[in-house]
Structure 1
Amino acid sequence: IIFYEDKKFGGHYYECSSDCADMLSYLKCCNSIKVEDGCFMVYEQPQYSGQQYFLSKGEYPEYQEWAGLNDLIGSCRVIPKAKEATFEMQLFERMEYGGQMMDLADDCPNVVECFHTSNIFSCKVIGGNWLFFEK
């Protein structure tokens, strides 16, 4: 992944291929990004905090392209490629794997509609990588 200070891949840049907890020492801002391979979670603040954005392979010539609220990127994490050929996860309506259990093996655009519950407090990943969205 390559982070650029200017829009349309211009200006000072920082190239990264692993997790980076504090990018502020390398860049003062970030207005464009190229993801050459893989997937990354980028965070607005250092130490993997603040607003976060999921980026897959592609070009993002302006921060609005990745739904950024501003030109700040403080840290990033590599999302490892899944080694398993299958994707499976169990969702639980209570903490510590309690209550009703729901199996997932594919994308689920709306957990509330699919399982008729708005309470999900724990999960077990059996295989693959998964990404939850708040809304």
Structure 2
Amino acid sequence: MTSTPGLARVDLVTRFPLVEARGVPGEMAEQHGAPEQAAAGKSHGGLGGSYKVIVYEMENFQGKRCELSAECPNLTESLLEKVGSIQVESGPWLAFERRAFRGEQFVLEKGDYPRWDAWSNSHHSDSLLSLRPLHIDGPDHKLHLFENPAFSGRKMEIVDDDVPSLWAHGFQDRVASIRAVNGTWVGYEFPGYRGRQYVFERGEYRHWNEWDANQPQLQSVRRIRDQKWHKRGCFLSS
């Protein structure tokens, strides 16, 4: 098995032979032990810099606005009647469909979002009522996906790479448990980074209901990166 310098590697670890989709220099042994214990859904490590987001009541950055540098569990409480557009000056941020950080999730990285469908890949709802800074551990990323709950069944390991289609790398769309070993990730229910978004901060997720999914379906995943280590600081979809 050869390695290609300069590329990350996605390994599919199953009960049958290893499938290598991409290579990195050197050998990468599978880790059988659990990563450093961390509660799922909680952020860890230091901030990658200051956080600032500007939220506007109307589309195209018009109307009443408010600037935030910390979490806000209810944007409509004495701030805005609704959210029509967003400018992220430094981040990243995680927004939610409902108050108190509940409901569908939306990752907001550095850039402009002139209307609601710019931040919602599922186009399920135009509601955005709470948001918080999304803390990043460091520059390295490693994610383990499992076919069944409690980290059982077929396993896929993703290291320092974005994967627009799990199927293309020999895995299936059923993902029932996850270990985020390093970094912060976002998964999508459809290929090409489309559909509902699910954020995985460093920790263990033994069942899909721990990331607020209704079913164990995940078809693409990518890294969320911070300006401290990645100066562009944002993901550009095609």
Q: TM-score range by the shorter chain?
A: 0.7 to 0.9
Q: Please state if 1:57 is matched with 2:110.
A: yes
Q: Which moved more, 1:6-15 or 1:85-94?
A: 6-15
Q: Aligned equivalents of 1:134 and 1:70: distance in 2? A: 16
Structure with greater helix percent? 1
Deviation by residue 1:65-110 (Cα, 9 ceiling, x = unmatched): 3346665321112211332x32111111111111122110111111
After TM superposition, the structure 1 = structure 2 runs for residues 1-135 of structure 1, keeping only pairs within 5 Å, are 1-25=53-77, 26-67=79-120, 71-83=126-138, 85-105=139-159, 106-135=161-190
Q: Which moved more, 1:24-33 or 1:44-53?
A: 44-53
Identity percentage of aligned residues: 28
Residues 93, 109 of structure 2: 8 Å contact kept:
yes
Query: In structure 1, what is the equivalent of residue 222 of structure 2?
Result: none
Q: Which moved more, 1:27-36 or 1:47-56?
A: 47-56
Structure with larger Rg: 2
Structure with greater strand percent? 1
- Structure 2 gap segments, 5+ residues each: 1-52, 191-238
Residues 35, 58 of structure 1: 8 Å contact kept:
yes
TM-score normalized by the length of structure 1: 0.86
Residues 38, 81 of structure 1: 8 Å contact kept:
no
Q: Does the residue aligned with 2:169 lie in a helix, a strand or coil? A: helix
Q: Aligned equivalents of 2:169 and 2:84: distance in 1? A: 37
Alignment root-mean-square deviation, CA: 1.9
TM-score normalized by the length of structure 2: 0.51
